[in-house]
């Protein structure tokens, strides 16, 4: 019973490419999030969205943008991929104003060469 699905498990892209990471949830959650996870730094919030077409910057938005055209789908876009964006990217979703935590996707390990 998969609830948050990330389109790719592993991805290798070249420097300068435009990269799309897709995330779909089937729980009718209002909130969706993109994090990146790096050793020793934990999960850092890139962007989040609390409604369709709404987006808010997280702690490290530089070099990224997002799109939420439908409630169930939240896309992360790397406009021009760079090697320092090599990381594990985790998508998550939650109910509005929820402090019960998130449901996570399985992650996309992106390597930029």
Binding site for other proteins (CB under 8 A): 4, 31, 33, 35, 40-45, 48, 50, 58, 90, 92, 94, 96-102, 104-107
Parallel, antiparallel, or unpaired for β 103-104 and 87-94? antiparallel
Least distance (Å) between residue 15 CB and other proteins: 27
DSSP state of 85: G
CB-wise, 98 or 111, nearer to other proteins? 98
91 strand-pairing partners: 34
90 strand-pairing partners: 35
Least distance (Å) between residue 105 CB and other proteins: 6
Vertex 33: Cα angle to 27 and 34 (nearest 5): 130
CB-wise, 78 or 107, nearer to other proteins? 107
Based on its alpha-carbon atoms, the radius of gyration of the chain, rounded to whole angstroms, reads 13
Least distance (Å) between residue 100 CB and other proteins: 6
CB-wise, 81 or 102, nearer to other proteins? 102
């Amino acid at each position: 019973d998969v609830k948050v699905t990330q389109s790719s498990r592993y991805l290798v892209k070249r420097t300068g490419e435009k990269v799309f990471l897709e995330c779909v949830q089937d729980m009718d959650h209002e909130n969706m999030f993109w994090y990146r996870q790096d050793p020793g730094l934990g999960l850092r919030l890139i962007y989040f969205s609390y409604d369709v077409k709404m987006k808010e910057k997280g702690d490290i938005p530089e070099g990224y943008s997002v799109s939420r055209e439908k409630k169930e789908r939240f896309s992360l876009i790397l406009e021009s991929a760079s090697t320092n964006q090599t990381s594990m990217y985790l998508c998550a979703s939650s109910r509005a104003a929820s402090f019960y935590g998130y449901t996570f996707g399985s992650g996309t390990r992106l390597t930029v060469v």
